[in-house]
Structure 1
Amino acid sequence: MKQHRYRVTVEHLADAQGNPVDASPLRFEVGNHDDIMAVVAYLRGRGDLSEETATAFGVGLKLFGETLLENRDHPLFAEFFPQFVAFMKHLKKGPAQG
């Protein structure tokens, strides 16, 4: 399957007490069937999440989702996969009207 390619970098800036952390960044490359940038833009545009929350959620969701898709038969993920599919359908409906 054709995939978009991404380089992800996570830098630990401060510990739980707010103290600076001197640690090497975590860097890895990963593929995804979706354009993660477009997914984040969609989530930001929904208006029901802050920009920071939408960004973190979008990136995390797509990284997790691709792992589930690629490993749906793995015992760790198999039971959860149907719930994830239902969640994605709900998410794609758009924000709840209140």
Structure 2
Amino acid sequence: METQPGADAGMKGAHSYRVTLQPSDGCSAAAIAFTHSNHDDIASIVERLRASTGLPDTQAAALGVGLKLMSAVVLEHRRDPLFSGIHAALGDFIRALKSGP
């Protein structure tokens, strides 16, 4: 995941990322790539998770990146019935994660 701080003029103080999911096991699936803007520095969040959760580095990275990508979509579409069942639970989980063990 590459980052370019402040690259998205539509979001003040945003970090812009190019996210790429590339198969590494020889499967024939095509790579998935997209851009994402977030007000948080996701790399810093991953480093904090690596230091505080006790998870292996790769799992802490997957958790941090996945959670930030998902929470951004849920927040943007918070009034959409598709996300009504997860919005509150996701907020509770993030608060618990931030407060530490």
TM-score w.r.t. structure 1 length?
0.84
Q: Which structure 2 segments of 5+ residues have no match?
A: 1-10
Q: Which amino acid aligns with 1:21?
A: C
Q: CA deviation digits over 1:41-82, x for unaligned, max 9?
A: 100111511111101111001000111111111111123111
Moved over 2 A (4+): none
Does structure 1 residue 52 correspond to structure 2 residue 58? yes
Higher relative contact order, structure no. (Cα contacts within 8 Å, ≥ 6 residues apart) = 1
Sequence identity of aligned pairs in percent? 40
Q: Please give the alpha-carbon distance, in whole angstroms, between the structure 2 residues aligned to 1:81 and 1:47.
A: 23
Give the superposed CA RMSD: 1.3
User: Any residues of structure 2 matched to 1:1-98 within 5 Å, and which?
Assistant: 1-2=11-12, 3-14=14-25, 20-94=26-100, 96=101
The whole-number CA distance in structure 1 between the counterparts of 2:79 and 2:85 is 9
8 Å contact from structure 1 (residues 8, 29) kept in 2: yes
Residue 44 of structure 1 aligns to which amino acid in structure 2?
R
Question: SS of the counterpart of 1:49?
Answer: coil
3-state SS of 2:20 partner: strand
Confirm or deny: 8 A CA contact 1:33 1:66 kept in the other structure.
no
Count of matched residue positions in the alignment of Structure 1 and Structure 2: 90
Aligned to 2:65, what secondary structure does the other structure show?
helix
